[in-house]
Amino acid sequence: MKKRNFKEKITLDPIMTLVILIFLTIIVSGFLSLLGTQVTYNTITDNITLEYTQTLVSVESLFSLSGLKYIFTTAVSNFVTFTPLSSLIIILIGIGVMEKSGFLKTSITALTKKAKKKTVTFVLVLICLLSSIAGNLAFVIMIPLSALIFIYGRRNPYIGLIASFAALSAGTGLNILFTSSDSAILTNTLMGAHIINPAYTLNTFSFFIIMTAAIILVSVAITIITENYIAFKLPKYEFEELEMEEEFTLSKKERNGLILAGIAGVIYLLFFIYCIIPGLPLSGALLDNSQTFYIDKLFSASSFFSNGFVFVVTILFVILGLFYGIGAKTIKNNKDLCDDLGHSLDGIGKTLVLIFFASLFISIFKKTNIGEVITAALTNILTIPNLGAFPLIIILFIISAISTIFLPNSTFKWAIIASIAVPTLMDAGISPEFSQTIFRFGESVTMGLTPLLAYYVIYLAYLEKYNQDKKPINLFKTLKYQLPYSIIIGLILLGILILWYIIGLPIGIRGVVHL
């Protein structure tokens, strides 16, 4: 008994764990800076002249007066501008209306009442993987919804949270459709390719076939791991509301609510879709027409669509919840609506504290340059002479996976790696598009294992929200939940790369493995 009490005393709350990580980062940065830890890497700055910029990056010590000044002067601004914070609060407004009005419960129950557990999990996982088209905002939307989907299915919400985060994090590098992140990465790939062949070209469908195969296999793998392993490892979830186990029937009011919500939602979506179609009368108003690729017109930093996407989704959720409430008579006046708007924001005080310390930790770690130094140092391994094509594939995959833990930003990471990886693999007979695929597969393996991923805190906060244990949910335990997914997904993706390399299958439309 004494031993168990001792363990309970040393169980760290996620907030305290983040505080410890902050102090460790400060101390490690001071130690590495004292040792003069630095590395040099090249980036191509001009795609026409292929001019290099040589960058010397050193670990910056925060274990100093200037470091303390940085921490204290930027803590508030980093928290206020931390994207997951504003995105989560705004999305929760819409989710609150859908949840409180009964729209989510009715629609989810109606859709899943006759479906098998594995089918529901598979569909959720597949949607999460495909939702990478929306970028990191998919984390904010799908994580809260996944918990509710499992709650209304009378299952442990932890199952939905863990599975959805595994799929979302893996989906950062697995995209059937070309995303804004892919577009930025493709630019660096082409710059690297032009060192060897200035006429080399790529298209947005060069990765379609191999990405489709990867998403299907990863969806199946995540579903199997979730249902056959994770679900049995989790403690039983006790539901607060004891409901009679009876067959679900849709009442007339609920049916009217769904019909009214469906009509209103379709009208809103049609209007919105029209506004992002270029070339039609009065359309394209939400696009950044200065960009070349359509996906960049949607998601560039100057795009109205990108800047307002969270709000657009929130309005859709409010419309669905509001019109369902009107039809089902669960929203009778403006007070009901206003109360529903704040429903999901009740009790998020600790979530805000978690987000504050997560933003502080990420900001401090980024300031030290440790992630950049590690990535550049690992990339230099590729310059070892006489490495064959097959070893280079394995090494690039491992470099991508390891560096992602310390530098989750895909575009910045590939900007460091591409100038060496792409021409080196081209010399070994590997195409630039396959090099990019190796990189994207590698980062998909470990993206869910790093608390430096800004949206990891959303996953952590919701595990804490639905935690029924008296002990706080440990941050390292949340990582442990993701480890089986990471291992299996890593084996699957590496297997796909090896298979494609051996057989020489096309990876997409005009996308090849061998030059």
Q: What is the pLDDT of residues 104-159, one digit of tens each?
A: 888 888 888 888 889 999 999 999 999 887 778 889 999 999 999 998 888 899 99
Q: What is the pLDDT of residues 407-449, one digit of tens each?
A: 999 988 999 999 899 999 999 999 999 999 999 999 999 999 9
218-236 burial code (b ≥16 CB/10 A, e <16): bbebbbebbbeebbeeeee
Whether 201 has a pLDDT exceeding 90, the answer reads no
Whether 9 has a pLDDT exceeding 60, the answer reads no
Check residues 46 and 427 and name the one with the higher pLDDT. 427
What does the alpha-carbon distance between residue 455 and residue 84 come to, in Å, rounded to a whole number? 6
Contact 90, 311 (CB under 8 A): yes
User: For position 300, what pLDDT does the model report?
Assistant: 67
Q: What is the pLDDT of residues 293-324, one digit of tens each?
A: 666 677 666 667 667 778 888 999 999 999 99
**Can you read off the two tokens belonging to residue 1?**
């008994």
Phi-psi region of 149 (alpha: psi -120 to 50; beta: other; left: phi over 0): alpha
User: For position 8, what pLDDT does the model report?
Assistant: 47
SS3 62: coil
> Which residues face 21 on adjacent strands?
none
SS3 511: strand
Whether 244 has a pLDDT exceeding 50, the answer reads no
**Can you read off the two tokens belonging to residue 249?**
């029937």
**Band (7; pLDDT cuts 50, 70, 90):** very low
> Which residues face 58 on adjacent strands?
38
198 phi and psi angles, rounded to 5 deg: -60, -15
